[in-house]
Amino acid sequence: MKLTESKTDMQGRIISVSGDDHFMNRITSIGITEGTTFQTVKNDRKMPVLIYLRETLISLNRADAQRIEVETA
């Protein structure tokens, strides 16, 4: 499932991240890498997706979150 499909308080693991080199550099620099566990804090329609991973709260715009494939824990 895509990160944009996750529900609030869902815990899971990042399976894959896809995008161009610029996107991959930006996403990996903030700690979003394959195998990382996360928790969805908030995912309201038309709003950024808030996730908690590596002891950090991260806000992702919906287009970026759509490029991240996750699985539930």
Condensed to tens digits (0 to 9), the pLDDT of residues 31-62 reads 999 999 999 999 999 999 999 999 999 999 99
Please say whether the dihedral angle defined by the alpha carbons of residues 26, 30, 33 and 37, taken in this order, is positive or negative. Answer: negative
pLDDT at 48: 97
pTM above 0.75, yes or no: yes
The structural domains of the chain, with segments of one domain joined by +, span 3-72
CATH class (in words) of the domain with range 3-72: mainly beta
Spatial contact of 62 and 4, defined as CB atoms under 8 Å apart: yes
pLDDT at 21: 97
